[in-house]
């Protein structure tokens, strides 16, 4: 396919069901249909999880780094499938393998999320996903998501 598409903030809201404070993608830098997506998450000191994780030493929880990676993968699947919550389809997290954390993420960091489609079989999608900060690998994993039918959502 290798078709590049522009994905702005409105498109992110149409393609993903997540909303603040759980929408973890701020911007899409690159989106190649059926191939890969590169997105950003700006990590602010004002994130709602920092006061409790950890007081005096804020660190982004690893599960939220994985969630950001999964949202990028879901966004690529939605773009490739030409569907989203407004059409009654969402992508749900279906599995994770070989997740490894290499570095902590702290306020002021900018996560660069890359998800590459490895294979698709019917409604199951498999991705290689990474998160980096300033060129340093933070986390990598293989992820799966599945399309799920829902009642159509509105913005």
- pLDDT tens digits for range 13-53: 999 999 999 999 999 999 999 999 999 999 999 999 999 99
**Domain parsing of the chain, residue ranges:** 3-149
Is 53 among the residues known to form the active site?
yes
* 124 and 81 Cβ atoms separated by less than 8 Å: no
Q: Is the pLDDT of residue 155 over 80?
A: no
Query: d(Cα 11, Cα 23) in Å, to the nearest integer?
Result: 13
Q: What is the C-alpha to C-alpha distance for residues 66 and 28, in angstroms, rounded to an integer?
A: 17
**Which residue bears the tokens 């078709």?**
3
Of 141, 86, 89, 151, nearest to 116 by C-alpha is: 141
Which helix H or strand E contains 104, and what residues bound it? none
Provide the H-helix boundaries in the chain.
9-15, 62-81
> What confidence tier does 114 reach under pLDDT thresholds 50, 70, 90?
very high
Question: Within 13 A of 2's CA, how many CA atoms are on the CB side?
Answer: 0
Which pLDDT band holds residue 1 (cuts at 50, 70, 90)? low
Q: What percent of the chain has pLDDT over 90?
A: 89
CATH fold of 3-149: Thiol Ester Dehydrase; Chain A (3.10.129)
Query: What's the pLDDT at 12?
Result: 95
Predicted confidence (pLDDT) at residue 67 exceeds the cutoff of 60: yes
Select which of 27, 53, 103, 120 is catalytic.
Answer: 53
Give pLDDT, residue 70.
Answer: 97
What pLDDT is attached to residue 2? 66
pTM: predicted TM-score of the whole model, two decimal places: 0.95
Band (pLDDT 50/70/90 cuts) for residue 150 is confident
């Amino acid at each position: 396919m290798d078709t590049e598409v522009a994905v702005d903030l409105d498109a992110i809201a149409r393609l993903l069901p997540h909303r603040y404070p759980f929408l973890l993608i701020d911007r899409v830098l690159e989106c190649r249909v059926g191939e890969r997506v590169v997105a950003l998450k700006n990590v602010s000191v004002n994130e709602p999880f920092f006061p409790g994780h950890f007081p005096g030493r804020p660190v982004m929880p690893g599960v939220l780094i994985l969630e950001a990676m999964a949202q990028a993968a879901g966004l690529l699947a939605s773009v490739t499938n030409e569907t989203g919550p407004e059409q009654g389809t969402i992508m749900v997290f279906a599995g994770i393998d070989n997740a490894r954390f290499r570095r902590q993420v702290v306020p002021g960091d900018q996560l660069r999320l890359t998800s590459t489609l490895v294979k698709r079989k019917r409604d199951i999608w498999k991705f290689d996903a990474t998160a980096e900060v300033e060129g340093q690998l933070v986390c990598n994993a293989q992820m799966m998501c599945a399309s799920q039918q829902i009642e159509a959502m509105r913005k």
